[in-house]
A and B are shown apart, each in its own frame.
Chain A
Amino acid sequence: MHPGLEHYLILSALIFSFGVYGLLTRRNLVAMLLCVELVLNAAALNFVAFHRFLFKGDPAGTVFPILIIAVAAAEAAVALAIVIALFRHRRNLDVRAADTLRG
């Protein structure tokens, strides 16, 4: 069967739901960050699929994934800095243990 728009959309929905599942079950901060990257990639894949199959010649569909990649890079830098600071203070990356700010 020739791959159409639906195939790409379903594939990206599957990757998205894997990311959500991982985000809910992981207890390690870095592993949760990796699952967020999965979710962001699923969104970018959707943009490119719509660009390819529905909007001919409109470059917005490829500009948004570039912005998504830039935001993901910024997010990874900040999150890993937080990981290093957290590890320096607690020697532990379990998110259930880091609940000092919980009201």
Chain B
Amino acid sequence: METFAFWMIAAYTLFAAYFVVTARNLFRCAVGLAATLIGIAGLYLLMDAQFLSSIQIAVYVGGVVVLVVFAVLMVEDVTQKEFLRSPLSRCLLASVVAELLLAIVGGTMLSQGFGPDRPPQASAQVREIGHALLSTGPGGFVLPFEVISLVLVAALVGAITVAGKPGDDFTKGEED
């Protein structure tokens, strides 16, 4: 059962990723990305990482993809327009580069010999993840946790500043 589920989800995810890369319409690309992310969330579930799977759905599919769709709908008439195509020579060069990278990465991974019949082990659950994120001892991730919250705040402020009109002054309140 798990084997069957893995192959189905893997084929679905690869097809959706291919769709993201080749679709000629921006909105379809975004929908393809949502499908890919849901497939990867399914793979996380198969690997017994339920918490990550739900985060993937909530933050990625519910947040990032919706943000992308909003931006796409705001900036152009995507239902009609198709993008400019890159020239064929560039596509060929890009596919050679991508295949080279795939060969290097895949060859390295396969030649490491991680042991094909190693049994899967229990994944960390929410309790361990929470303790790891907030512990200051060895194996704790409290510094990356704090840094990432700072990064998110900076990204939020930066996004508002960059996307706002040049004359807008966000420092003034609404009271007057």
Contact = CB atoms under 8 A, between A and B. Distances in A.
B55 A69 contact: yes
A94 B92 CA distance: 20
Interface secondary structure of A, over-half rule: helix
B26 A30 contact: yes
Summarize B's interface: helix, strand, loop or mixed.
Answer: helix
Contacts of B55: 66, 69
A69 B55 CA distance: 8
A38 B20 contact: yes
A78 B21 CA distance: 22
A20 B97 contact: yes
Interface in B109-143: 109-110, 114-118, 120-124, 128-129, 131-133, 139, 141
B114 A16 contact: no
Nearest to B133: A63
A62 B17 CA distance: 23
B101 to A, nearest CB: 6
B123 A51 contact: yes
Contacts of B106: 9-10, 13
A63 B132 contact: yes
Contacts of A75: 155
A84 to B, nearest CB: 5
A60 B131 CA distance: 11
A78 B159 contact: yes
Contacts of A28: 26, 83-84
A1 interface: yes
Contacts of A77: 67, 155-156, 159
Interface of A: 1-11, 13-22, 24-28, 30-31, 33-35, 37-38, 41, 44-45, 48-49, 51-54, 56-63, 65-67, 69-78, 80-85, 87-88, 93-94
18 contacts: A3-B2, A3-B46, A6-B110, A8-B47, A15-B17, A20-B101, A21-B21, A25-B91, A30-B68, A33-B68, A34-B20, A34-B29, A41-B40, A48-B47, A52-B47, A57-B124, A62-B49, A81-B163
